[in-house]
Each structure stands twice: as C-alpha cells, then as structure tokens.
Amino acid sequence: MNILKINGKNFKEMLVSGANNLSQHESEVNELNVFPVPDGDTGTNMLNTLEGGLMQSKDTDNLGEFMQSLSKGMLLNARGNSGVILSQLFKGQALYLKTFNEASALDLCNAIEMGYKTAYKAVINPAEGTILTVAREGVRMIKNDIDANTSINSLIMKLLFQMKIALDNTPNLLHVLKEAGVVDSGGAGLIYIYEGMKKYLDDEVIKRYNGEVSKKSLVKANNFKENKIDTTNLFDENTILTYGYCTEFILQLQPKLKNKEFNLDEFIKFLNTLGDSIVAIQDDLIVKVHVHTKTPGVVFNKAQEYGEFITIKSENMNIQHNEVMTIKPNKKFAIISTIESEEEDEILKNIHADKTLMMNETSTNDFINAINSINASKYFVLSNDKNVVLAIEQAKTLIDKNIEIIKTTNMVEGYFALESLMLEDYDTLDAARVSKLLNEGMDATNAILFTKASKDSNINSVNVLNGDFIAINKGKIIAASKDLIDLVLKSISLVTDDLSQVSMFTGKSLDIDPYDILDKISDEFGADGVVIDTKDQKYVLMIGVC
C-alpha cells in the first residue's frame, strides 16, 4: 500500500507491526547492552513499554486521541532508561499530533522531530551515541526532503536509512561501544520498531515472537534461583557498594497535600545529590522517575511526601555487574587516568584510556571502584598529578589486582604517555610492551605549565608579583611575566635550544587566541605545532616541547 495520510487505526497497526518486529530481535538487542552495569534488558524494556502502551491505547480513527492514549500507556509501562526514553519519543509525537484527525508525512515528520526534542529534555544528562542520537539524526537528515506530496511509505523508508547511518556511528561517539565492538542497543531497538512499521506499509505480516528470549545481559534481582546466583555469599564485611541500586517508580501526586506542592525541577536537583542516570518526567499528576543511587530509601521517602506509588522497583546493580563480568572476556590490560575536565576525558579516551576520574573524585575508594569496574589482567593508572599518587598506592594495597602506577605529574605527560601507544598496532600489544611505551612516553615529555600567581613571591631566584603569569617546568617556577606570550617564548628558550615540535593544551581560563601564541612560537623558533583544547581547570596553558 502507498499511504498519503494516516489515522489512529492504521498508525496503531503500524506500531503493532513495529512491536512484533522488535520481539523477533529482542535477544539481539538485549545482548548489545555493554555498559558496565546493564540497566535491565534494553530489548525487553523497550518491547514491554511499547506493548504496554498499545494495550492501553484507544481503538479510534482519530489520530490525536490514539496518540494521547498511547503516550499515557507507554509512560505507565515504561521500564528502564531505554523504555522511558522510548515513551518520551512518542510523547513528543503525541503532543504535536494532539489535534490531528489524520496526518500527512510532513505532519508525522514534524511530530517525530518534536519526539526527539521531548526525549532530550527528559534525560537530565543526555549522552551522544545513544538512542537519542539515532532518533535526532534520523529526522534531522530527512526533514528538508519531506513535503506535502511525500507518502508515509517514503518518509519511513528515508527515516530508516538515516537512522541506520546514525546507529553505525554510535561507537565513534561512545567509547564503551567502540571498545566492545557493538552499536547502541537502544538505537538498534528503535530501528527494529520502525522496520516493523515499514513492513506493515509494505503489506508484510509480522507476527510476535513467543519463543524463549535470552537473558544473557539481564540479572533479575527478584529471581535468584532462575539466574543461579549464590545468595549465601553475596556480601561480606569487605563489600563495597560500587554501583548502587537501579531505582524506578511511578508516583501519583496527591493534590490534597497542599503544603507539599511538587516541583519537578526541584525534585531533579534533589536526585542529583543522590545519584545519576536520572530520567524524570511529569505528566499531569503522574511522575515517572529513574535513577541510579546508593540510597533508594531516601529517594522513596522524599517522593512519598508528594503522593503515593503506582509502581516501585529497586535492583542492586552490584549483582548485575558481577554476573556480567563472568560473561565478558578479560581484557589483557586496562588504562585509567585522572582528568581536570570533560574535554580531557574525550581526548584521553580517544588514545586508549579505558576510564577516567575527575580530580575531585580521586580518593582511594574512587580508584578502587574504577579498577573494579573493568575486568582486566593488568591495570595501568596514570596519576597526572603527584598529589593523587598516594591514593593510588593505597588502592593498590587494598585490592588483589595487578596494578602499575604511571607517575605522570600533569596532563601533558599523561597525554604523551598514552600517545606512545599509537605508534604501534594497539591490538597486538601485551601488558609488558604497554608498560614500556607508557613510561617512555612520559619520560620523553618536556612539559611547561602556565598559571597565574596569587601572591608576591621570590622562588628559585624568580621574582613573582601577584597576578603574574608563571611558567613551571619539572615542578619548579622557571620564569614569570605579565605578558603570557612573552612568557611562553622565554620559557621555551629556557628548556630547549633545539625546538622542532610544540603541542599546546589550552585551559579553561585562557582568554587569548592560542593560534596567536603558536604563530609567535613559529616565528621565533621555526617550529610546527598543534592546539588541543582541554578546558583544563588548573592551568591557563600547558605546552609539550620536543
């Protein structure tokens, strides 16, 4: 069939076909979930969310009425992050189509666009490389090609094509996907739904799969026997609750509680103090919440001040993680590094850092948790600051792991230590070779760090006035000046007389164009250079010279 407009009944039939198609691939989507703690089962969660919405939806020709009932049903049946996000993709469509008896391809395209925007707003800290990216890029790339003459068939075909391109790109946006060699599970699930919708338009009948679904990536905390989890020795006096609890609930607000007026933004701020992976949505008197927290009781008690629970769930993610770790193969080695900014996180992960820790998260326990989150035969930990070495050494004594500390004293040394791994075929490296390369890369680095003085002083025969820029090399102040560019040129001449290459790492507080500095260096020393924007919190500028 070739449809120019859809109404409530045929859109429902399209979605039933989409749900049936997803059921055929439920196990496949489940097993794509590679995050250290699988948040339930992505395929199962998405399927239950969509089917729950369809079961509670109206059988009506009126598209707007159908979409409103579908949206409400999906919200009430949403499971896990993926299910909640899926419900919001369709809530946005429902909002746009609220007054429509039927819709053209252009109308539906606009509705799908509102869907991804609604979903982005619902996720407190949206990450790229997820179902959100796939939904956004799919419609963004086709929007200008859709007009009043486009058929629904053509719209879905074009949308699918672009979503598949976006899905294939997700490993380039999320390091954990690239490491595991998979695409995003939620994005894959969304594509299977739209594939089923397309098959309906192509007159292909898709039946629901009712066979056994693999639970390889799922641990049901309420069914230990089925999953063969030994309940006699789950925890002991040395147990560290690394991951907390995957906590979800649907709350019905009680208007009678006049002294407890609910404010979603304020409640989200409260959740941010207790956990992460937060999705919080309000639809009239219904509030749907998902959060990873170590204190679910505190969350529940706060929520109950505003109403009563319709559904409630909290599962221990340490159990889920331990089960998954028995499935995932050991890595030969893992690399952990400290960072000062989110930009440094992306930079270092692109050159083989497996995990990073912000400098305000570098306690002994933080390093223990970071190491335990990766299943590897050996761990290399780059300190990037001498002040965190002791915490790493303490972590090393407290856990039975093969840990080597690479005592980098700044981001520049850490960067060049990791970049040394790029000189060889990474997949062929063993731990001994990695150790040699990391140490050689660190030792070969000559870093100059620039910051501002906060008081007058005279150190190492360098006179420093409050507000001066100061240059630090190998832990010592080597020069100071009011003019940063002059200081850069002077400090380079102090540490080397044969400059061939400069790598410039810009900090958050740098207020001049780094390329102006690079041009001056080139004029003065005839050297090439690159600029890497780190938004470092500690230093105005960092330079690696060789």
542, 448 Cβ separation under 8 angstroms: yes
Tokens of 277: 């992976």
Residues 452 and 439 in one domain: no
Q: Are strands 275-283 and 286-293 parallel, antiparallel or unpaired?
A: antiparallel
Q: How far apart are CA 546 and CA 543, in angstroms?
A: 10
Instruction: Give the total number of structural domains in the chain.
Output: 4
Tokens of 260: 């407890």
Instruction: Select from 263, 287, 321 the last residue of a domain.
Output: 321
The torsion defined by the Cα of 477, 482, 485 and 488, in degrees rounded to 10, comes to -10
Residue 179 pLDDT grade (very low, low, confident, very high; cuts 50, 70, 90):
low
| 193 sits in which H/E element | helix 185-201
Asked whether residue 234 is domain-assigned, the answer is no
The count of other CB atoms within 10 Å of the CB of residue 301 is 10
Q: How far apart are CA 155 and CA 109, in angstroms?
A: 7
| 505 sits in which H/E element | strand 501-507
pLDDT, one tens digit per residue, over 225-247 is 333 344 444 444 444 455 678 88
Strand partners, 335: 380
Residues 138 and 55 in one domain: yes
CATH number, domain containing residue 307: 3.30.70
The amino acid present at 35, given as its one-letter code, is F
Least confident range from 118-132, 144-158, 171-185, 298-312: namely 171-185
- Mutual angle of helices 131-140 and 80-96, in 10-degree steps: 30
Asked whether residue 64 is domain-assigned, the answer is yes
Least confident range from 1-5, 9-13, 164-168, 438-442: namely 1-5
pLDDT of residue 258: 57
pLDDT of residue 215: 41
- Please report the beta strands in 35-177, taking only residues with DSSP state E, as ranges in sequence order: 102-104
Residue 450 φ then ψ, to 5°: -120, 130
Q: Which residues contact 417 (CB under 8 A, 6 or more apart)?
A: 382, 406, 408, 437, 438, 439, 441, 442, 445
Q: How far apart are CA 521 and CA 544, in angstroms?
A: 13
Asked whether residue 395 is domain-assigned, the answer is yes
Strand partners, 104: 5
Residues 365 and 508 in one domain: no
Residues 253 and 186 in one domain: no
Residues 41 and 144 in one domain: yes
Asked whether residue 140 is domain-assigned, the answer is yes
pLDDT of residue 242: 55
In this structure, is the dihedral angle defined by the CA atoms of residues 42, 43, 47 and 50, taken in order, positive or negative? Answer: positive
Instruction: Select from 295, 321, 347 the last residue of a domain.
Output: 321
Residue 93 pLDDT grade (very low, low, confident, very high; cuts 50, 70, 90):
very high
114, 92 Cβ separation under 8 angstroms: yes
Residues 435 and 493 in one domain: no
Tokens of 216: 């390889």
Residue 327 clears pLDDT 70, i.e. is over it: no
Residues 439 and 496 in one domain: no
Asked whether residue 211 is domain-assigned, the answer is no
Residues 404 and 453 in one domain: no
Asked whether residue 344 is domain-assigned, the answer is yes
Residue 329 pLDDT grade (very low, low, confident, very high; cuts 50, 70, 90):
very low
pLDDT of residue 256: 64
Residue 448 clears pLDDT 90, i.e. is over it: yes
Least confident range from 160-164, 215-219, 247-251, 531-535: namely 215-219
61, 8 Cβ separation under 8 angstroms: yes
- Mean pLDDT across 255-277: 81
* Closest residue by Cα to residue 26 from 194, 246, 208: 208
Tokens of 91: 């809530």
CATH number, domain containing residue 408: 3.40.50.510
Q: How far apart are CA 490 and CA 69, in angstroms?
A: 70
Instruction: Select from 396, 428, 443 the last residue of a domain.
Output: 443
Residues 377 and 512 in one domain: no
Find the domain containing 282 and state its range. 241-321
Q: Which residues contact 469 (CB under 8 A, 6 or more apart)?
A: 450, 451, 452, 453, 480, 481, 482, 483, 484, 487, 540
- Mean pLDDT across 428-453: 93
pLDDT of residue 257: 64
Residues 427 and 503 in one domain: no
- Mean pLDDT across 214-224: 35
* DSSP letter assigned to residue 66: H
Asked whether residue 350 is domain-assigned, the answer is yes
Q: Say what percent of the chain tops pLDDT 70.
A: 88
Residues 309 and 430 in one domain: no
pLDDT, one tens digit per residue, over 496-521 is 888 888 899 999 999 999 999 999 99
Better-scored residue on pLDDT, 458 or 306:
306
CATH number, domain containing residue 42: 1.25.40.340
| 349 sits in which H/E element | helix 342-349
Residues 369 and 309 in one domain: no
pLDDT, one tens digit per residue, over 370-416 is 898 888 999 999 999 888 888 898 788 878 889 999 999 999 999 99
Better-scored residue on pLDDT, 104 or 374:
104
pLDDT of residue 212: 54
Asked whether residue 233 is domain-assigned, the answer is no
Q: How far apart are CA 406 and CA 414, in angstroms?
A: 9
Three-state secondary structure call for residue 101:
coil
CATH number, domain containing residue 467: 3.30.1180
In this structure, is the dihedral angle defined by the CA atoms of residues 162, 167, 173 and 178, taken in order, positive or negative? Answer: negative
